[in-house]
Chain A
Amino acid sequence: SQQGEEDPQALSIQEGENATMNCSYKTSINNLQWYRQNSGRGLVHLILIRSNEREKHSGRLRVTLDTSKKSSSLLITASRAADTASYFCATGGSGNTPLVFGKGTRLSVIA
């Protein structure tokens, strides 16, 4: 199955700094989604970006998509301790197949 791969695996920053996570994937996609998971909890959908979009914003989140490089980035600006979580990208390709998730980036925001 095609799969997004996040980079870095883990990231530790100070509160107030920006956090950038990257996702690379292997085959053509229809859209790419980002999710957040707090420890021991379910995933929460953050943002969906379609293959014909280059950038999307939601509050302090900014997502970019470069289909020529098969990559996406998630930027969290002015991070807070509450942003501490794992972040996953998920991709969907053709047909009606379910989302395929990467292994995630563990973000720690230190107060």
Chain B
Amino acid sequence: DGGITQSPKYLFRKEGQNVTLSCEQNLNHDAMYWYRQDPGQGLRLIYYSQIVNDFQKGDIAEGYSVSREKKESFPLTVTSAQKNPTAFYLCASSPGQGYHYGYTFGSGTRLTVV
């Protein structure tokens, strides 16, 4: 079955450590997105990519980095510069750019700073 796989499901980060969240899709979608969700909050856009080897900053990109070397993969690195990284991270994809299509979401990664 086609879908998006996020791993790991739970991740613990020590202070000053970089961690990478994996997102892989086999839907042949061009566009991929990373959102952050905090308790009681909506989703906030971190980064998005509409084509391989290209990506744009979202509303809260500071302290995060991404790459898009393959169509299927869009990993997110949470760097030590992100001062409050504890949150639920959601990866999504869509067949084309922007808002014209429904998004398919992964099941999320819950990141906790210890």
The residues of A with any CB-CB pair to B shorter than 8 Å are 1, 3, 30-31, 33, 35, 40-45, 48, 88, 90-93, 95-104
Contacts and interface: CB of A to CB of B under 8 A. Distances in A.
Interface residues of B, number: 30
Given A40-B108, A91-B99, A92-B98, 6 more contacts: A45-B104, A96-B100, A99-B103, A100-B45, A101-B42, A103-B42
A1 B48 CA distance: 15
B99 A41 contact: no
Contact of B40 (A44, A92, A103): A103
B87 interface: no
A95 B108 CA distance: 28
10 contacts: A31-B99, A31-B100, A40-B110, A42-B4, A42-B107, A43-B103, A88-B43, A90-B103, A95-B98, A96-B99
Closest 9 A-B residue pairs measured CB to CB? A92-B99, A42-B105, A96-B98, A45-B102, A96-B97, A101-B43, A103-B42, A43-B105, A101-B42
Contact of B50 (A31, A45, A96, A104): A96
Contacts of B107: 41-42
Contacts of B108: 40-42
Contacts of A48: 101-102
B66 interface: no
B106 interface: yes
